[in-house]
Amino acid sequence: MEIDGTRAGIRRRAPQHGEYDTEILSDLPPLAGPSTANSPQANPVRRRPLDGIRVLDLGVIVAGGETGRLLADMGAEVIKIENTAFRDGSRQSMSGALITPVFAWGHRNKKSIGINLRSPEGRTYIASLVEQSDVVLSNFKPGTMDKLGLSYRELSRINPRIVVADSSAFGNSGPWNARLGYGPLVRASTGLSLAWKYDNDNGGFADASTIYPDHAAARVSAIGVLAQLVRRLRTSRGGTVSVAQAEVILAQHSDLFASASVRIGAEPDRGTGSAPSGLYPAAGTDEWIVIDVRDSDDWERLAKCIGSIELVSDPRFETAAKRLEHRSELDAVIENWTRSRSPRAAVDLLQENGVPGAMMLRLPELPGDPHLQARQTFRVARHPLIDRLLPSENTPAHFENIPDVELRPAPLLGEQTREIASTLLGLSDEDIDRMIAAGVLEEELPPTDTDNRSVTNY
């Protein structure tokens, strides 16, 4: 992440044990009684932390759109800026539906105004919105916002307190900055596609099954926006946040780079350095469990769990190095045990005996999983144009004095155009009608009973 054009992250080396004891202890305030400032009694009104913050969201698809959604979930008024000439890709549907499940999930709690940003009037309106807002989000190819007259230099001239956040595949500088980049390209370019494959499996690529790192990059962007808003409390000035989605992946590989650097010529460890460790077939069709033995204690507990304690003293398996050497023989023993048990029964027994193990769950199974239900990980969302309930992510953390997220439906394109044009742009009904007729402002109306654009085929 870059903050105001400067790389954020490394500030100092990792500390020695107790290195900063004196500095930290000398700065501690005197002990006092327990504070009641944040108690439910002191603050009876449960507000969300971003209440009063207004965000102009030009983000699209997932990485851009989700950044705005995360801020909206925490109370910000998020206004999606869009138009029919460049429709958000997650709105597009083979059936012509006005709202898709992906859009409904990823853009909840937002408002939408349709503006032609290439028209003189549209640029005037966006400038007025910037003047009244706190944050601007985008995830276009670098240079697009500049061409639209929406560079940070221009926006900060209008509103010095504005925070401008952008996210792109490879960042806004460097030889690759102008490259087109979607999830598969980013993953391949950062080594992740190869890391998701066993060395001896030539046909094991499954890279197209995910859109990573879009969701992770959105969360990094949101953290950067929050950091700028916190700093603005001290300085009264805004700033920029720039996230390269490729570097979100690279940052999560940094420990592998560090370990590989001390073993000249070695490739990063891809997690196959212990045995037994990996996927094992369970009873049933295409059912699997994962077992990960970390050390000799885990190995002894596993051997006891599967009723083969004699394996611990077997010369082939008595050390970690020998277990790796005889990995195929050991895997055959483990597999013989796992195949005779259902995934849940096997994992329950492993966990009861202190062995790291987990069952493979499929996506449709997750909302109904007892553990996730107990933690309220998912909630059921409704949208008036979708004919079924949508499992939807709840807040990533539950707070004592902050309510869980609202689930207001994602908007149609320009659904709040009239409201925003009236309340924030000061336009009369006649002016709004005239601008819509001229194509400067846009609104999509909800379908009628005879309209076939509602969602029926998902």
> pLDDT tens track of the chain, all 458 residues?
889 988 887 778 889 998 888 888 887 777 555 545 444 455 556 688 999 999 999 999 888 899 999 999 999 999 999 999 988 989 988 777 888 988 998 899 999 999 999 999 999 999 999 999 999 999 999 999 999 999 999 999 999 999 999 999 899 888 988 888 777 888 888 888 877 776 666 666 666 667 888 989 999 999 999 999 999 999 999 999 999 999 998 888 877 777 767 766 555 555 556 889 999 999 999 999 999 999 999 999 999 999 999 999 999 999 999 999 999 999 999 999 999 999 999 999 999 999 999 999 998 899 999 999 999 899 888 999 998 888 888 887 788 888 888 899 999 999 999 999 999 999 999 999 999 999 999 998 877 654 545 444 44
Residue 191: the pLDDT is 81
Distance CA 368, CA 449 (A): 34
Contacts of 299 (CB under 8 A, 6+ apart): 276, 293, 312, 317, 323
Q: What is the pLDDT of residue 205?
A: 60
Question: What is the DSSP secondary-structure string of 177-208?
Answer: TTS---HHHHHHHTTHHHHTS-TT-TT---GG
The answer to whether 441 and 145 have CB atoms below 8 angstroms apart is no
Whether residue 51 lies in the annotated active site: no
- Biggest alpha carbon–alpha carbon distance for the chain: 88
Residue spans per domain, the chain: 277-362
Exactly one of 88, 166, 214, 298 is catalytic; name it: 214
DSSP conformation class of 167? E
In the beta sheet, which residues pair with residue 113? 81
Burial pattern 56-73, b for ≥16 Cβ within 10 A else e, equals bbbbbbbbbbbbbbbbbb
The DSSP letter of residue 448 is -
CATH number for domain 277-362, candidates 2.60.40.1760, 3.30.300.30, 2.60.120.620, 3.30.1540.10:
3.30.1540.10
Per the CB < 8 A criterion, the answer to whether 97 and 454 are in contact is yes
- Predicted confidence at residue 455, as pLDDT, reads 47
Tell me how far apart the terminal alpha carbons of the chain are, to the nearest angstrom.
37
Structure tokens at 91: 């709105």
Tell me, what's the pLDDT at 458? 42
With both helix axes pointing from N to C terminus, report the angle between 214-235 and 245-252 in degrees, rounded to the nearest 10: 100
DSSP tag of 435: H
Per-residue pLDDT, 254:
79
DSSP state at residue 134: S
